[in-house]
Every structure is written in C-alpha cells, then in structure tokens.
Structure 1
Amino acid sequence: MTGGPVKVLIVDDAPIVRNVLTKELSRDSRIEVVGAAEDAYQARDMIIERNPDVISLDLLMPRMDGLEFMEVLMKHWPMPIIVLSSIVDDHWDQALRALELGAIEVFAKPNPEDPVAFKAMLARLTDTLVWAARIDMNEVLQKKKIQSKPSPLKSPSLARAADKIIAIGASTGGAEALRNIIPLLPPTTPGILIVQHMPEHFTHSFAQRLDQMSQIEVKEAEDGDEVYPGRALLAPGDHHMRLKNKNGKYVVDIVKGPLVSRHRPSVDVLMQSVADTAGAEGVGVMLTGMGNDGAKGMLSMRERGARTIAQSEETCVVFGMPREVLNNGGAETAVPLPDIASKLMSLV
C-alpha cells in the first residue's frame, strides 16, 4: 500500500449492496472505492486494472463463488480480503473455510430494516478495511503454516483446576489462533471463557468446529451455563458474557447490553467480570486482534493478582489488542502462538 486513501474493491452480485457500500464507504476520507464487481471474473479484471489494496467479498455468487475466488487469489495474487456475506446456518461452513483460506475478517450482512445494526457494522467494516490494507498477506499466509507444538502438555489436577478460570480475548485472526490453542489443551484444563469478535449465528458453528477438534468440550455459551474443568464457553455473537459465582459455582450471564469498547461481545466485559469474581485465580490471554477491546479488563485482572499473557507480535495477524495490553501493563509478557497452550498449563 502506498500513501493516500485505501483503495477498496467491492465484489458482490447484488446491485443494491454494491451501490450502498460504494456510497457509504466513500463518505470516509480514508477510503477510495476503485470498483464494484458483480462476480469474480469482473473482479479479476478490476484487480489487474486498478490494483486495490483490499477487497470486500461476498461468498454466495454465481459463476465462481467467493471461496473458489479466494483460493485463486491467495495462490496467485495474495491480498487482504474482508468477507461480507449473508451468513446463515446453511452456510456457516463457508465462512469458516474463508477464514482458513486467509480472510482477515468475516462480517454478516445486517438486516436492512435495522439501521442501528447497519451503522454499527459499517463503522467496524470501514475501520477493518483501513487496517487490513496495512497487512502483508504473504506474511499472514506464512504465519498460518506455523503449527503449535503437539507435545503432551502438563495436566493440572482437577482439584487445582476447579479453582481457576481462563479468560481469552480475540478478534481479527483469532479464529485461526484459537484453532492452534484449544485442541492442544488436556481434559483437566480449568474452565475457559472466550470472547471472539464474530457475527451472530456464526459463534455457534465455530464452537462446534472447535469442539470436534478438541479434547475438552467447547460450546456456545447459554445463560446460566456452569464453568468447570474440561469445558470452554464461547460468547454468543451480539451478546456479552460475564462470569459470576452462584452458590459456590462459577456460571455465566449472557446479556445483550450496550456496545462496550465498540463491541458486543466485549473482551473488556468478560475480563472485568473475571477480575471481580475470580481475582487471583484468573488467567488472562489476549490474542491477535484490531483495536483495544480488553485492555482495561485485562489490566483489572492483573491488578487483582491474575496471571496474564499476550500473543507475540511476530505471530499475530493484527498486533492491536495484544499491543495495548502490553503497553498498559495488563499483560505480563508476550508469548508466540505455538507456545501459548503450554504456557497456559504452566500458569494453572
């Protein structure tokens, strides 16, 4: 990327989506929409002619779908791609596959009759497009080849694990990072609470995918779910998740509530609740992501005696959230992604 506005190419088969995105994104002085293609073939020609910095891509398109197009691009012309698609239950696997292929972020198209949701999505999409333009996709694809060390991990005793709570925050690039951590954890791992910025309806499918890969149970959290060793709860999209102690047991509250740190679910909400409820028995992990969500919450955790770590810059897709917690003292140290699972076990 050179100086000046970020050059964005919109790829979507729906004329109304192309027109609305072009109009709304062009309002931001940081962005120049250099084209709006109706399918992958037209997009290919525009890429050659207009050299965009980043692409907004629909997945469900005629002639060549978004996944096929991504595979071609990542092989021959790697560039940052933000998926904006109608993610419903029938297509969750396509969204997950897009992340595996190298998509920087996945957004669900909001209900056009909900102007508040549209405005919130557009603000996040705009910031993500601008940020993504800075990313070197060759580096990202190289980092995706890094695999966490599969050596056996120390298993904490159930008695010790029952007292501990692990809180994990992640955003851009976090889905891939979590796939390199959660499947390595042993069955007696303390209860885990995860906030990964994802669209509503997508978190359920992502939790299922992690569950299939892992030794521990992974599920999308429901209000009142108990937190115990061998279980990881993923905050549902568009809802905050808080830890509380109910009759001597750890459980979660799932609430709608206002956006916090521009997000719902918010890492700050989760980690503040872990600081308040678990105190020194907490362990905090900040993974790759854009922005500063979680910086205040993790600092509160550390101030209450919790152990805290952040993903290292060289293994992050976006070194935003980890940088914030390292800079403000919320995280004790930076740890490379392949070492995070073993580091976690050493802290519990």
Structure 2
Amino acid sequence: MDLNKKIRVFVVDDSMVFRNFLIKSIGQSPRFEVIGHAINAFDAERQIPQLKPDVVTLDIEMPGMTGPDFLRKFLPKYPVPVILVSSLNLRVFDALEVGAVDFVRKPDVKDEITSKQFVSTLLPKLLIASNSRVRMPRGTVSSAPATTMEARQLQTPTPRTMEHFAGENKIVAIGASTGGTEAILDVVRNFPANMPGVVITQHMPAGFTAMYAERLNKILKMEVREAKNGDKVRQGLMLIAPGGYQMRLVKRGTEYFVSCTIEEKVNGHAPSVDVLFNSVAQNARDQAIGVILTGMGSDGAAGLLRMRKNGAFTIGQDKETCVVYGMPMEAYKIGAVCQQAPLLTIPSIIYRQLGLLTK
C-alpha cells in the first residue's frame, strides 16, 4: 500500500445535506480524496466507470433504484469496493449479500458527538475496503470455467441428521469481521437442526445484530437469535453476540450458558472475538471447535491459539476466499490454526470433526 497516495472516494447519497456532510468529513482526512458524487444509483452507474474510484460509499434507500438493486446490476461489470452508509435498515444485509464490503450506521448530522463517532468509524472502513477483495453477488454467471478448487468447493456435502451423535456436547464458536456476515452464512447454511450449540461473534453495532440473527433464523434449519445474558447454549440453537456487549461462554455443572455484559471494547470491538474465544478455551476446552473468518486486524487470533492449546480443533479461512485476510492471517501466523481452508470447505471440516459425515 502506497501511504503517500490518496484513496479516491466516490459518494452516492440522495440527501444533499448528508451528501455534503460526507464529502466534507472524508475530504478533511489527508488519506482520502472525494473525486465525485452522485444523487442516485443511475447517476453513479454513469460516473463510476469514468472516474475509477478506489472505494464507494452508498446509501441504501434511494429513489428509482435501491442500493442492493444497484449492486446486483453494477458489481459484476465493475467490481469496486463499496461501504454502505445506512440507517437501521434490514436491507443492509441484502446489499452485503450482493457484494458490499461493510456498512456504517448513519448519524444525526445535527448531533456533534454521534457525527464524530461516525466519521471515526467510517474512515478506517474506507481504508480497509480500498484494499479488500470484492465478492461477486451469489448467482453471478462467470464466463471463465471453474477451477478444480472452485468445483470442489461447490460440492459441499450435506451432513446427516441424527437424533443423537457423538458430538452433541460440543460447542462451535465462530468469529468474523469485515465480510463476515455472508461468510458466516456460507459456513452455517446447511447446519442440521440437531447441530451442537453455536456461538458467534461478528463485529457489528447494536441493533444490526438482532436483525442479522432474525435474517439467519429465516434461512437456517437451526434456531438463531441474538443472545441475551443467561441464555443456555443447547443443541439446535445458534446465538449471535449482541452489538455493544461482550459475550462469553460460561459453564455451570455440565451445561453451557452465555454471559452478555456491557464492558469496554477489547481490540477496539464490542463484541470482541477474543473475549468469546478465550471463554470457550477456558470452559469448553477439547469439546470446542473454533472458526476464524474474514476480517481486518487481529481480534480472535490470541483467543483461537488459547483454544487450540486447550485441545480444541481450530479452523482458519484461507486468503483466497477472504474479503479481508487479516484476522485469519494473524491466527495462522501465530500457530492458532489446526487447518486452513477455503470458505466453502469449512462446513465439511466441521461435520467430520462432529462425526456428521457418513464418508
């Protein structure tokens, strides 16, 4: 990365007030240059190929064409990294599904404190996105033949379902950040209804974690919900760490529960993957499977290493399939990963560890 080269940003927002706020806020940083703006998706579709920005900020709800519809149409032709700037809106996950890298919640521009917090969150995400891998929308048709690895990834086996199996007392712990909402879905999509308890920390602000859990609950065979303090971790249930809280696995007798408490950020995050993984290492030990997925930084690496040292089987997503190869890379570098694998082969590895595959 050339630290002297400014990152070229293009802003898409139909609100003149918020658009001007974005342009001014981004432009004040010496790392960025706002090279243009659009008032709607059609305007953006015309300008972006000509201006060739490094990263785009995109509103969700715009007249004529929504953000998700724009991405679905535009990204296969012009794969530019996109950061969503949105109110608390379920359609954020539609946009992430079709290729956006990450999102930031819109502030009230009249509130100086929340506006400053917004800018301090947005700028690092723009920096990360400018160097990220753009994931094509699901269902995008490629003219190139699939590689051997791609073909193998697409042949993910379906696990068998049984009333009881050897791994029923296991715990599966997953951590992710940038690009993680869709990576997590790719891993857990075919988990059977009798899957051991799953605990997940995805870096995400308050409000969005509940919507993400609701979205997964509609798609998966398992029950999925945002965790509450004292929830029991049980077979068939997936718990998502709530935004703004630190979630830990705790053990009472032979049963597992979660604690969710408001605390300081760890590694810059609440929830933090390290907080979850450290608690899993302490309480589940060799009964745990740990998975670290795409994300910037090193959160989760130390916790995953502790899990491995305590007997857990640990998996890290490989570079080629990560949106951002940060957290899995740091975990791999320090020896925290038992097996590194492409995203779509991770489910098979988990199933085999649990004895859920017949072959």
- Please report the TM-score for the alignment, with normalisation by the length of structure 1: 0.89
Deviates most, 155-164 or 49-58: 155-164
The answer to whether the 8 A contact 2:156-2:347 is kept is no
**Over residues 246-270 of structure 1, what are the superposed CA-to-partner deviations in whole Å (9 max), with x where a residue is unaligned?**
3542111112211111111111111
Secondary structure at 1:181's aligned position in 2?
helix
Rate the CA distance shift 1:236–1:80 in 2: closer, same or farther, 3 A: same
CA RMSD of aligned residues (A): 2.5
Shift of 1:54: 0.9
Rate the CA distance shift 1:34–1:193 in 2: closer, same or farther, 3 A: same
> Which residue in 2 is equivalent to 1:66?
67
Structure 1: distance between partners of 2:162 and 2:287:
14
The answer to whether the 8 A contact 2:49-2:78 is kept is no
Give the number of equivalent residue pairs: 342
**Among candidates 124, 128, 138, match of residue 127 of structure 1:** 124
**Over residues 219-269 of structure 1, what are the superposed CA-to-partner deviations in whole Å (9 max), with x where a residue is unaligned?**
111111100122111112222211111354211111221111111111111
Shift of 1:84: 0.7
2:177 partner amino acid? S
Matched, 1:101 2:98: yes
- Please report the TM-score for the alignment, with normalisation by the length of structure 2: 0.86
> Which residue in 2 is equivalent to 1:83?
84
> Which residue in 2 is equivalent to 1:311?
317
**Over residues 74-123 of structure 1, what are the superposed CA-to-partner deviations in whole Å (9 max), with x where a residue is unaligned?**
24322111101112xxx30x112101111111221135576565444433
Structure 2: distance between partners of 1:276 and 1:115:
42
Secondary structure at 1:192's aligned position in 2?
strand
Secondary structure at 2:53's aligned position in 1?
coil
The answer to whether the 8 A contact 1:242-1:274 is kept is yes
Matched, 1:238 2:239: no
Secondary structure at 2:216's aligned position in 1?
helix
Which portions of structure 1, spanning 4 or more consecutive aligned residues, are displaced by more than 6 angstroms?
142-147
> Which residue in 2 is equivalent to 1:14?
15
The answer to whether the 8 A contact 1:184-1:214 is kept is yes
Matched, 1:50 2:51: yes
**Over residues 3-38 of structure 1, what are the superposed CA-to-partner deviations in whole Å (9 max), with x where a residue is unaligned?**
811100111122332232223222332211112333
The answer to whether the 8 A contact 1:280-1:307 is kept is yes
> Which residue in 1 is equivalent to 2:262?
256
2:37 partner amino acid? A
The answer to whether the 8 A contact 1:158-1:229 is kept is no
The answer to whether the 8 A contact 1:182-1:210 is kept is no
Structure 1: distance between partners of 2:290 and 2:352:
13
**Over residues 305-341 of structure 1, what are the superposed CA-to-partner deviations in whole Å (9 max), with x where a residue is unaligned?**
2111101111212111111100111112211112111
1:71 partner amino acid? R
Runs of at least 5 residues in structure 1 that lack an aligned partner in the other structure = none
Runs of at least 5 residues in structure 2 that lack an aligned partner in the other structure = 141-149, 355-359
Structure 2: distance between partners of 1:239 and 1:144:
35
The answer to whether the 8 A contact 2:72-2:137 is kept is no
Secondary structure at 2:172's aligned position in 1?
strand
1:300 partner amino acid? R
Shift of 1:191: 0.9
Greater fraction helix: 1
The answer to whether the 8 A contact 1:164-1:283 is kept is yes
Shift of 1:45: 4.2
Structure 2: distance between partners of 1:328 and 1:115:
41
Matched, 1:277 2:272: no
Structure 1: distance between partners of 2:228 and 2:84:
27
> Which residue in 2 is equivalent to 1:26?
27
**Over residues 119-141 of structure 1, what are the superposed CA-to-partner deviations in whole Å (9 max), with x where a residue is unaligned?**
4443332122122222353xx22
Rate the CA distance shift 1:144–1:107 in 2: closer, same or farther, 3 A: farther
Structure 2: distance between partners of 1:318 and 1:338:
16
Structure 1: distance between partners of 2:171 and 2:76:
41
> Which residue in 2 is equivalent to 1:213?
219
2:127 partner amino acid? V
Deviates most, 251-260 or 153-162: 153-162
Structure 2: distance between partners of 1:72 and 1:339:
28
The answer to whether the 8 A contact 1:148-1:181 is kept is no
Structure 2: distance between partners of 1:249 and 1:117:
41
Shift of 1:186: 2.2
2:98 partner amino acid? L
